[in-house]
């Protein structure tokens, strides 16, 4: 089994703090730069699973870099450079406490909610009679709170404004950016024979008050993709859609009686399962980018990451 990045404990010059997310370790360098290491950790149902997935961090980081570059004309983003296959360095931003989730289709958690009888999600009305994986007339926005621990919670636009989580002016811009980014992602996916089903965006404010797109974008951890070819036929026949996303991990967990509920045990992650997940991530990378995935040297992956970050900081931090 290849070396994987399960955790990092670096101490960089000028480092003020280290934030460990479910998948990313984010180093604050002097309130000027954020160094984001995309680990090989994998989470599902807001639980970090016990084993790392080879090359997952590289896949996520390189897809995010590609899409950040491809959408910079729509919305300013935090990225400055990517000095390592698993690392992005960008502008220090204060994140908004909400995630902007946009859905083009009734699938995943929204379908599970709908199936239980709900006809409103995050304040958005959903019509009766819809089928799983059916396309919405217009994409819907279903924001969540950004929990530091436990589960993110659905929240409506009205509640966000009422609670003062985001100002009305800022929220209007977040909504505009979210829709335009999703449109661009949808176009780029279609060119590669995919449907961008749903995704989430995170935003933050720079010191100058500018709103930046932060974190990842259009990766299999933050997005769901269907294959375009055969979508209509599968839908008409009531068949499951062929998809590229992390949903297959959730489905494997659910089939093994795990949904992150108290008292439930994560099923045993065999080498076979771990390798299958790795292969699926690489498959999505190649499908969505149209490029061959080049596996990085992971023989001493932690040393490699630290070396590349230090080199970058030494040439940029005075």
> What is the pLDDT, as a whole number, of residue 211?
98
Q: Would you say residue 55 has pLDDT above 60? A: yes
Model confidence pLDDT, tens digit, residues 177-220: 999 999 999 999 999 999 999 999 999 999 999 999 999 999 98
Find the mean pLDDT for residues 127-153.
89
Find the mean pLDDT for residues 275-288.
91
Two domains, one topology: 15-94+248-316 and 96-245: no
Confidence band, pLDDT 50/70/90 cuts, at residue 1: very low
> What is the percent of the chain where pLDDT is above 90?
88
The CA distance from 200 to 36, in Å, is 18
Q: Would you say residue 142 has pLDDT above 70? A: yes
Whether the CB-CB separation of 15 and 35 falls below 8 Å is answered with no
Q: Would you say residue 168 has pLDDT above 50? A: yes
> What is the pLDDT, as a whole number, of residue 229?
96
Confidence band, pLDDT 50/70/90 cuts, at residue 221: confident
Nearest partner of 305 among 129, 82, 126, judged by Cα: 82
Mean pLDDT of the chain: 94
> What is the pLDDT, as a whole number, of residue 150?
58
Domain ranges of the chain: 15-94+248-316, 96-245
> What is the pLDDT, as a whole number, of residue 245?
73
Window from 68-72, 84-88, 277-281 with minimum mean pLDDT: 277-281
Homologous superfamily of domain range 96-245 = ATP-grasp fold, B domain (3.30.470.20)
> What is the pLDDT, as a whole number, of residue 209?
95
Find the mean pLDDT for residues 239-255.
87
What DSSP string runs through 13-69?
A: TTEEEEEE-SSEEEEEETTTEEEEEE-S--EETTEE-SS--TTHHHHHHHHHHHHHH
The CA distance from 89 to 82, in Å, is 6
CATH 3.30.200.20 fits 15-94+248-316, yes or no: yes
């Amino acid at each position: 089994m290849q070396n994987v990045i399960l955790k990092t404990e670096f101490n960089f010059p000028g480092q003020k703090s280290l934030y460990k997310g479910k998948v990313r370790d984010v180093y604050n360098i002097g309130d000027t730069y954020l160094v984001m290491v995309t680990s090989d950790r994998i989470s599902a149902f807001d639980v970090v699973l016990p084993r790392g997935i080879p090359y997952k961090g590289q896949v996520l980081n390189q897809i995010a870099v590609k899409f950040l570059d491809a959408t910079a004309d729509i919305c300013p983003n935090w990225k400055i450079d990517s000095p390592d296959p698993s690392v992005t360095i960008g502008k220090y931003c204060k994140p908004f406490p909400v995630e902007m989730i946009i859905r083009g289709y009734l699938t995943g958690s929204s379908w599970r909610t709908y199936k239980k009888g709900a006809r409103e999600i995050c304040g958005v009305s959903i019509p009766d009679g819809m089928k799983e994986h059916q396309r919405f007339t217009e994409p819907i926005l279903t924001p969540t709170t950004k929990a530091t621990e436990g589960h993110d919670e659905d929240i409506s636009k009205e509640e966000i404004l009422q609670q003062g989580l985001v100002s009305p002016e800022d929220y209007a811009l977040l909504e505009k950016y979210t829709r335009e980014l999703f449109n661009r992602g949808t176009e780029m996916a279609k060119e590669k024979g995919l449907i961008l089903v749903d995704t989430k965006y995170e935003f933050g404010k720079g010191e100058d008050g500018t709103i930046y797109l932060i974190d990842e974008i259009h990766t299999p951890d933050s997005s769901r993709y269907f294959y375009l070819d055969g979508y209509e036929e599968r839908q008409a026949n009531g068949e499951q859609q062929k998809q590229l996303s992390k949903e297959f991990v959730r489905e494997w967990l659910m089939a093994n009686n795990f949904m992150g509920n108290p008292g439930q045990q994560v099923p045993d992650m065999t080498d076979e399962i771990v390798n299958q997940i790795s292969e699926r991530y690489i498959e999505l990378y190649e499908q969505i980018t149209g490029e061959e995935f080049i596996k990085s040297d992971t023989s001493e992956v932690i040393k490699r990451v630290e070396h590349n970050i230090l080199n970058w900081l030494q040439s940029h931090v005075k």
